[in-house]
Structure 1
């Protein structure tokens, strides 16, 4: 069927235009199908400067990139998101995109905040020389109450399917795991508040006075560990009261920042709701808090940090073996194409989400994300540019490239081109044959979800 579909598309008279559009989209795996028209008008005279209609497109349909950030859904669009995130993070460390180059002189650290343990899991640990250490070597460890060994001497390969799986799934704290994911954004918020208080204390200032001399800027990304719990990587930078345009006070050094991060991470907790059979619990960061200074010529450079954070901005919980879509009401959890560990986590989200006391956590809606419902990449207002600004710069460039102007200098609103558009959504995705052709045209391996959903064209 896919071969016949591919042949039918290839033999159409408009295949050349279809292929050209596919290349311009970079091989988008699930393009959005639209039908409509656009008028570019001179608002002062009402003259039509340019007219566009999808009638001239293959099949009378315009296909536009889906712009998803998830690499599991569309590698092409996710790469653009990753590149934008890289530029955003690096601009906050080296300048550019509206950030002065003097920001390189501001103290900055790469911070990793991890989750606590919810039970031992199979892990791969590399020694400094590169040798792989045994997983959980414990002498005379015995067995757990369920009869499973509490020791594992296997040196796991990087692709071992057991990585992240509990040594005993009956002993593992699944409720704690999903509740931590659900409350991790609040724990981060409290951490940033505690960090400012610790910095104020270090300077002998009140919190109000601190804001008049120092600004704490950050950019962070959430990463899933294989056990299904999120942890955060963040760039934290100290600025003056005007943000990156002003230098921080002399007392705000890298050592002061590191001490404040360490103290704040150990001080904050968040309380989970109590429900019948589910007691309230106090959740906190794990014991492993990694703080490393970012320098232009040191071991941890701005390029390395920006690349590391950008890499995780396009990923979700795929490494855990879960879904990249929401769990539907019609889904049978036992039949979902996920790992046994992910299935238990999803089931726990659904169980807790059904409790009235847990409604605010929206665990049912975010079961596929194992409880985490926060944004994967966030930043403080003054850290650097925004993703929206980077996208707008591309839009403005394309408009200038097409040369659609009123012919007047854009001094007032009447000198700007007025765009009037009418669009109708038809569907999204590729047919099996189109997916094969797209892969051949762009050299990209498309994910298996590339199936067209919508009105046939």
Structure 2
């Protein structure tokens, strides 16, 4: 409530006297009544709508002043003093759909534009980039033990493992079955190897991109030092969790000239060469994990399942580039929780026992916690990333020259919302302080309804869009789910 409203005695009594009238109502109902009596309700609703119904907005208090650089004149001033509660709501900008649906939807749209610009041009990338040699890769992890899989599981075989468990299952599991992804034998499953692979997945990817330069040089007869001066490998990748809780990568790999997307690669850098180099470079990756008495020596490699999809002239057709971008972007809103883990950090070993997850996920989180206590693995910070099952890399990463950036996309959206770019020759000075996060129970109900209304509005816009495409989303059918994914859906174990 603003200081001006607090100065009105009748309004103050009406506002603060609600408790007497709210006894017997639920917490949500009491908060809804409070909101109905709150002065400045319409402005509060405007703030919630401006955040898209963000599930956990961040509140700031303070203000800003914009001056003309040449004259020093004050152009405009803003203060939260006149806002409800004297604070301003901003989006939390959390990428996870499990934490904030509206913000994750916005992040997914930005990711689509980021990936699509590197395939077909736009957002500052020339359209000619679509003719550069480009492939779509899926790099998987190796097996750490046989696991249950969707559909017809491993057929039963004679005999048992060393721990007395059957060597097969023989049942048919639904896609969302509770056993899918879990090991056939817990004792046989290599939990330390699984966690170590997740923890080193980023290093494995870097080793692959470094190897790719070397293998391009070997296939074309160019020197290893010269190849980096003659071309540039531009990439964007996203990490996805398989049901067994291990990450694998979907990536777009493109060959550019030394200057990046604006430069043509050498004539010998063809799509066929890129495909062959990618296959051999993946097979050559091998990293040694830190040696420990807890698990011995481990060599980390990619799995044998590798999918290389050539994007030759296909990106000249709009649908292909859009589908690839949608396929990559949809995974930016997901994390380990998509495999059945949790989306919040684990703070103690006792907390692991209380997690509402499967026995397999609890064992993986527990393995992270135990290995995180080893001095030789301290640099991996496995306890801090136990909720991510050891993987500490960014969900989506790209090379500098691949395309645009999230910052530029947000700035472009801000200009669109304002109706014009930020004024040239102006400087803005602000003083802000943190004033809390999240909604009260009644506020959360209203914010959720606003988010649903906006989602429904987008669906209607897609249905009636003349071109069939709105913001990178297909109007009907197709889209990310129609992409062939032989390796990403490969059988685990």
Same fold (TM over 0.5): yes
Aligned equivalent of 1:218: 235
Show structure 2 runs of 5+ residues with no match: 1-26, 456-493
RMSD: 2.0
Q: CA deviation at 1:399?
A: 5.1
SS of the equivalent of 2:200 reads: helix
Work out whether residues 235 and 398 of structure 2, in 8 Å CA contact, stay in contact via their aligned partners in 1: yes
| 2:447 pairs with 1:438 | yes
Match of 1:380 among 386, 389, 399: 399
Change (3 A) 1:444 1:152: farther
Match of 1:418 among 427, 435, 440: 427
Q: CA deviation at 1:330?
A: 7.7
Q: CA deviation at 1:289?
A: 0.7
Aligned equivalent of 2:255: 238
CA offsets, 1:290-333, max 9 Å, x none?
A: 10012236899211110010000111111222121111148521
Change (3 A) 1:300 1:372: farther
CA distance in 2 between partners of 1:67 and 1:54 (Å): 21
Aligned equivalent of 1:255: 272
Aligned equivalent of 2:364: 345
Aligned equivalent of 1:328: 347
| 2:313 pairs with 1:304 | no
Change (3 A) 1:300 1:344: farther
Match of 2:83 among 38, 57, 62: 57
Work out whether residues 52 and 450 of structure 2, in 8 Å CA contact, stay in contact via their aligned partners in 1: no
Q: CA deviation at 1:242?
A: 2.1
| 2:402 pairs with 1:393 | no
CA distance in 1 between partners of 2:450 and 2:135 (Å): 43
Q: CA deviation at 1:135?
A: 1.1
Q: CA deviation at 1:440?
A: 2.1
CA distance in 2 between partners of 1:173 and 1:276 (Å): 15
Q: CA deviation at 1:288?
A: 0.2
CA offsets, 1:408-442, max 9 Å, x none?
A: xx4xxxxx212111111121111111111112233
CA distance in 2 between partners of 1:61 and 1:278 (Å): 53
1:273-284 equivalences under 5 Å are: 273-284=290-301
Query: Could you state the TM-score of these two structures normalised by the residue count of structure 1?
Result: 0.89
Count, aligned residues:
427
CA offsets, 1:197-253, max 9 Å, x none?
A: 000111111122112322111100011111110001100011122222122222222
**Is the helix fraction higher in 1 or 2?**
2
Work out whether residues 190 and 268 of structure 1, in 8 Å CA contact, stay in contact via their aligned partners in 2: yes
Q: CA deviation at 1:445?
A: 11
Aligned equivalent of 2:168: 151
Q: CA deviation at 1:29?
A: 0.4
